Structure 1
Amino acid sequence: MTDVTSATPPSTDAGRVADPIAGQSVPRLTAEQLRGAIERIRENVRQVITGKDEQIELALVVLLAEGHLLVEDVPGVGKTVLAKTLAASMSATVNRIQFTPDLLPSDVTGVAVFDQADRRFEFQPGPVFANVLIGDEINRASPKTQSALLECMEERQVSIDGDTHRLPDPFTVFATQNPSEMEGTYALPEAQRDRFLARMSMGYPDRDAELGMVDAREGGDPLTRVRPVVTAETVRAMINACSEVYVAPPIKSYVVDLARATRDHADVRVGVSPRATLHLIRAARASAAISGRDYVVPSDVAALVAPVFAHRLMLNTRGARGGIGTGEAARVIEQVQQRVVAPTGV
């Protein structure tokens, strides 16, 4: 197994760059080091998740875009396993929350406890204080508890009794949810959905992948054999490297036009937010880096419009005529992409 620090260059001033988010310097990765780290994570996840390369790639995009991922599908198709495997690939702090109807906001963020000896309140951090937070079946908790993550996901901090507590860096949420029509689920609030950079479905594996999964588990759970291949510091450096990928003005205009087209669509009551525009550009940068480029091309954007935009759309009565599901939103996104002409020559 490759050493977890192998993607990190020597810790010298010349090989480090200031990171305003982390509040310290982090390694500056070369293009070769970035590609190597990405490949190690990818191959680590493939040890456990077979036949789902598209989903693995999107999860990597979200991680390197410093976003949060929502995985929606029926139980038993590997939603939580994907999140756990990706988390296990990093030498970082990982916490998991099983969302249930009786879960309280303080069970997520933490609570101030009175210390009898010191005669003062002391903050006890909740499970959200980790580099990777796995939220299992997030839509089984009440909207009040779901909303406890709003500040965490956007501002990467927790405010309790007037005090602000910074979350670890990097910080990402991998949440799973069951389809909204299933029993015992609550719809995610619009503000909560908007904070997820992307949403995806796992889908059932094909026959060969499912057969391979059966064979792989005869020797035990392959997840137990996964070892970290990158450090948290390296992940922070990978995020920084992706943020430096060049986005040409025509590409930026293309993204803005796509966002505005969702707001003008006849079947849409509320289109995507400006936050979605920023998320799509960040995701396109990460996708370009994963592809080995230091610049974004239109195809990077086109491939990510649906996973970044679809879950944010609020359809009107006409738009939801086929049901308020992912299929109707995907139909609108497809129409938007057909109407907005992608730039050429960039």
Structure 2
Amino acid sequence: MNNNTLLIFHLNGTVVDVSQSIDSVARRVTQFYLGSLLGVSGAGAMVSDEDLHAFRAAGGLDDPIELSAALLRYALSALPSAPPQRFAPEHLGQAAGFLARRQQQLPPTTFDQLSEKLDFAAFAMQITQQGGGRAGVAAALGGWPHPLWVGTAEDELAVVRRLFLELYLGRVAYSQVYRQPPRFYRGPGLYDHERLLIGRHVLDGLRRDYRGRMAAYSEWPRPLVQNMLARMKISNIFDLILTSEDLTAEAARMARRGETGAVAKPAPFLLREAADSLDPNRAHRALVIGNTLDDLRAVQRANDDGRRQFEGWALVTRKSDEGQWRAALRAAGASQLVEDGDDLLKRLNDCRM
């Protein structure tokens, strides 16, 4: 397969196991915002693994910060009503002060009380029915604004974004990466809970066989991606890495052209951009190896214009409800289900015979 094929990997969740880092952080954003910033009490976990997977499978929420925002926004819908915001904070300092005042105004509330009012799996189905993504969350809730949702005038996700990065990196690493102290969280991060899902020996072999034709993409900010690649000692493996900054740049280009539409998965932008950057003449087919339903949905959409053939394989990383998950991956378009790095190498070699 390698002579006429591009290899495009979803980095987080396919190459690197982020289930104990990014997934945990996405759940903890809601817990921290409600508990530490709004004063909700109790030891109950607000968001479970199953809740997170249901929201991600709803579509358009593979970006972990968007996913964190969606989980939190739904959880806020169970809180007691509060007076509307008169204006959006101009910066994070104002946002922190606003949250502190809101905490004093809220009646005593526990996580158990909120959990009784929430059904994440049922709401995830509503997100899907509304088209997925943050827009789908807003439509299902009747609008995104909420008196207890705090962002800034420039970025409604500013607080969630900052919380996510601080929880992921921890005090020391956040200060090193962003050259400023954390604002909300000063404990240890979860980034060092990551490990390779596809072993270094497999990646080295693929690098030799597919030199000049290997890319990876991530919904993460570039500093986090570079940090992870360095820690995993795989910075030299891929010829091209696309990150959230590429999504932002494309969204800006579309706005200048007066175009509308999504750029994040399941839209195919990242896949087409990776393939066209590696092979501008479109002489090669592209094999995308992902781990989520949106990876596979993006592959199907990438084929719509007929300019290049895309095929999607899925690395099976979920062991809970495994049979149902495998069926969902197949239904989303996975032509092969891969068990691990060695199995990937074997399947690629078999395709060359």
TM-score range (shorter-chain normalised) is under 0.3
Under a length normalisation based on structure 1, what TM-score does the superposition of the two structures give? 0.28
Structure with a larger share of its residues in helix: 2
Structure with a larger share of its residues in strand: 1
